[in-house]
Amino acid sequence: MVLADLGRKITSALRSLSNATIINEEVLNAMLKEVCAALLEADVNIKLVKQLRENVKSAIDLEEMASGLNKRRMIQHSVFKELVKLVDPGVKAWTPTKGKNNVIMFVGLQGSGKTTTCSKLAYYYQRKGWKTCLICADTFRAGAFDQLKQNATKARIPFYGSYTEMDPVVIAAEGVEKFKTESFEIIIVDTSGRHKQEDSLFEEMLQVSNAVQPDNIVYVMDASIGQACEAQAKAFKDKVEVASVIVTKLDGHAKGGGALSAVAATKSPIIFIGTGEHIDDLEPFKTQPFISKLLGMGDIEGLIDKVNELKLDDNEELIDKLKHGQFTLRDMYEQFQNIMKMGPFGQIMGMIPGFGTDFMSKGNEQESMARLKKLMTIMDSMNDQELDNKDGAKLFSKQPNRIARVARGSGVATRDVQELLTQYTKFAQMVKKMGGIKGLFKGGDMSKNVNPSQMAKLNQQMAKMMDPRVLHHMGGMAGLQSMMRQFQQGAAGNMKGMMGFNNM
Ligand code: GDP
Ligand code: MG
């Protein structure tokens, strides 16, 4: 069972409360039965599931509770809290320090995803502006260095390794030494695994660890073994000082619920989860946002992180133009580039409340990206005068031969160019309206600067601008409004709104 299924089932169980006319013992039990069945199906340990049920029941006193609405909210809130507890190891995870050498060593069984995850993590930090590198200290598996080298080269991450040196301890020590002298901030050491927890693996692990003195040992765990994660995590923890865990392969058919709750049960802090084979498929793991996202309520923190990663603040010129309500075709082009840079579209969408985890199937995602690319190709055929014009659409409508030229140049129909210009006009109109909203672009944090009535105006504008198909996916105008409301609450650091299940 995939995690998205689990989320859907729990959401549906919780929704049954909203549909019930009265909330009594019977309704509560039926809902809990559904939630527990979904958790068991996702391979969560039966003891943990029972505990969750008891905790919710003891937190809820139906007699004492007043009105119906309140009851529903309190029950939903309580289930949410218990779900968070299930995946919360209750231990604060290690975090790197800026401007210092942070040595991170990866350990785990062969095939668990160490090499893949090393590259993902390096890529993650590099994008955030850390000076990052990779070291391959796996001499056990043939082709290990090539694999790391390939990943690192693709992502333009400096790396170290050897085809001739057979001692992983020597390579690790040399690599760390070299990168420390070069003032790298994130130094990631990949090690070899074995098929089982063999003594030779633990021996090698300890030697490498002694040689490089890591600041953080990351234990990589394959989620597909489900509840068995608990025993394996314990075994590794006993041997080396595991400071954090990354659970991989939570995409596909992994018994994800079992893996996450089992690791949490060993009090090992999960720092990231791997959700695919691509270098982008790594998500920071925080318990509350994770559960929110699982239940289709979005991940506001993650979204804000992603947006901040774009360093829009640096783009003062654009912000200044936006403030004055200006938006050219070139600005739109750059915005599309930003969207592409944010990584997989679906990942971003999944972070927006109301979209749910599997809002976009991979097929749809590719389609959206392809659409975006097509629009950019069309703009590639425009000249500077057109791109930088204060009202590009007007220029084209006044001189239609420009449309024909651009269509020819980009190999599309004139209708496609016209569609792009229509899309642009809608964007530009919205920017004009937004520019009029004082303080919207101040410091990049919308919620702090915009009052509710301005937000409502913005909602309407967004709805007008959006592709009707996307709007439909979001549950129409009501869905959009609820999303914006949550966005506001979430962005203000107030998670309560989300936990109150506003959109249920
Ligand atoms: P290592 O032996 O621990 O270094 O494992 P590798 O990094 O070589 O990964 C083993 C296999 O798992 C490879 O085929 C990876 O593409 C795949 N893999 C790693 N992480 C993930 C993940 O999060 N999702 C999926 N679907 N596959 C993964
Ligand atoms: Mg490997």
Write the pLDDT tens digit of every residue in 230-269: 888 888 888 888 889 999 998 877 778 888 888 888 888 9
Written as one letter, the residue type at 77 is H
Q: State the average pLDDT for the chain.
A: 79
Q: 298-315 as b/e, with b when 16 or more CB fall inside 10 Å?
A: bbbbbbbebbebbebeee
Measured in Å, residue 281 CA sits from the centre of ligand 2 at: 17
Give the three-class secondary structure for 223. Answer: helix
Looking at per-residue pLDDT, the higher value among 227 and 492 belongs to 227
Q: Which tens digits make up the pLDDT trace of 87-98?
A: 998 888 889 999
- Smallest-distance ligand from the CA of 273: 1
C-beta of 114 in contact with ligand 1 (< 6 A): yes
To test the ligand 1 pocket, which listed residue (3, 114, 116) has its Cβ within 8 A of the most ligand atoms?
A: 116
C-beta of 249 in contact with ligand 1 (< 6 A): yes
Q: Quick one: average pLDDT of 164-187?
A: 96
* Res 499 pLDDT > 70: no
CATH fold, domain 102-297, is: Rossmann fold (3.40.50)
Q: Quick one: average pLDDT of 429-457?
A: 53
Residue with tokens 């783009």: 315
Q: What gap in Å lies between CA 177 and CA 166, rounded to an integer?
A: 18
Beta 282-284 vs 270-274: how paired, if at all?
A: antiparallel
Range from 34-48, 69-83, 273-287, 441-455 carrying the lowest mean pLDDT: 441-455
Q: What is the pLDDT of residue 22?
A: 82
Measured in Å, residue 34 CA sits from the centre of ligand 1 at: 33
Beta 216-222 vs 244-248: how paired, if at all?
A: parallel
Q: Quick one: average pLDDT of 378-389?
A: 93
Provide the percentage of residues in the chain whose pLDDT is more than 90.
Answer: 38
Q: Quick one: average pLDDT of 306-332?
A: 66
H or E element that contains 57 = helix 46-59
Q: How far is CA 216 from the centre of its chain?
A: 22
Q: What is the CATH number of domain 316-439?
A: 1.10.260.30
Measured in Å, residue 93 CA sits from the centre of ligand 2 at: 24
* Res 347 pLDDT > 80: no
Going across the sheet that includes 132-137, the strands are 159-160, 132-137, 186-191, 102-107, 216-222, 244-248, 270-274, 282-284
C-beta of 116 in contact with ligand 1 (< 6 A): yes
Which ligand 1 atom lies nearest to the CA of residue 281?
23
Instruction: Determine contact, residues 134/148, Cβ cutoff 8 Å.
Output: yes
3-state helix, strand, coil in the chain (%, to 5): 60, 10, 30
Give the three-class secondary structure for 100. Answer: coil
Range from 137-141, 181-185, 296-300, 471-475 carrying the lowest mean pLDDT: 471-475
The pLDDT-based confidence of 118 (bands split at 50, 70, 90) is very high
Residue 421, token pair as written in the block: 């210009």
Residue 425, token pair as written in the block: 């006009």
Which residues share a beta bridge with 144? none
Domain residue spans of the chain: 2-87, 102-297, 316-439
Beta 216-222 vs 186-191: how paired, if at all?
A: unpaired
Measured in Å, residue 278 CA sits from the centre of ligand 1 at: 10
State residue 107 phi and psi, 5-degree precision. -135, 160
In words, the CATH class of domain 2-87 is mainly alpha
The pLDDT-based confidence of 452 (bands split at 50, 70, 90) is low
Measured in Å, residue 133 CA sits from the centre of ligand 2 at: 16
Looking at per-residue pLDDT, the higher value among 216 and 3 belongs to 216
To test the ligand 1 pocket, which listed residue (277, 280, 283, 347) has its Cβ within 8 A of the most ligand atoms?
A: 277
Q: If you take atom 19 of ligand 1, which residue's CA is the nearest one?
A: 113
